[in-house]
Amino acid sequence: MRHYRTELWFETKQRRQLINITGQVQEVLRESGIQEGLLLCNAMHITASVFINDDEASLHSDFEEWLEKLAPEKPYDRYRHNGFEDNADAHLKRTIMGREVVIAVTQGKLDLGTWEQIFYGEFDGKRRKRVLVKIIGE
């Protein structure tokens, strides 16, 4: 069994942003040379997420509104964690959206459904963060 590991780095200009990283992950898979196996892709920060869904602007707006209702950013004093930071909502949003995805690799390609795309979800941006991509297989 072979393995391959790399990191993708992101620094958003906004506090919250969804970035389609499918192409970057596909490129990592191509570089690995692995044809059959599993690919793990996970955010290495507790205020960011990796998840799979549709790449549709209206859906992304719905995510923003839904997450803001579940874990509003303000007022900051609503959260105990914000005693020394202002990102408690980002921790909660990350928990809701998930830490990682695992995707089957078949014939050297990501085995995604018709509309499935991989996203990096940033909930406390404006600083450099990384995403791990680890592939195992043959």
> Which of 6, 26, 4 lies closest to 110, judged by CA?
26
Q: What is the pLDDT of residue 62?
A: 98
pLDDT digits (tens, 9 = 90+) for 9-55: 999 999 999 999 999 999 999 999 999 999 999 999 999 999 999 99
Is 81 buried (19+), middle (13-18) or exposed (0-12) by CB count in 10 A? middle
pLDDT digits (tens, 9 = 90+) for 47-104: 999 999 999 999 999 999 999 999 999 999 999 999 888 999 999 999 999 999 999 9
Is the model's pLDDT at 122 over the cut of 90? yes
* Token pair belonging to 12: 């958003």
Query: What whole-number distance in Å separates Cα of residue 95 and Cα of residue 99?
Result: 7
Query: In this structure, what CATH number is given to the domain that contains residue 106?
Result: 2.60.120.460
CB-CB neighbours of 118 under 10 Å: 25
Strand 17-20 and strand 2-10: the pairing is unpaired
Q: What is the pLDDT of residue 2?
A: 97
Query: What whole-number distance in Å separates Cα of residue 62 and Cα of residue 8?
Result: 26
* Token pair belonging to 62: 């719905």
Q: What is the pLDDT of residue 84?
A: 85
Is 133 buried (19+), middle (13-18) or exposed (0-12) by CB count in 10 A? buried
Q: How many domains does the chain have?
A: 1
The residues pairing with 131 across neighbouring beta strands, listed in sequence order, are: 8, 43
Residue numbers of the domain that contains 98: 2-137
**Per-residue CA distances from 53 to 30, 68, 72, 97 (Å):** 22, 18, 22, 11
pTM of the shown model: 0.96
Q: What is the pLDDT of residue 16?
A: 97
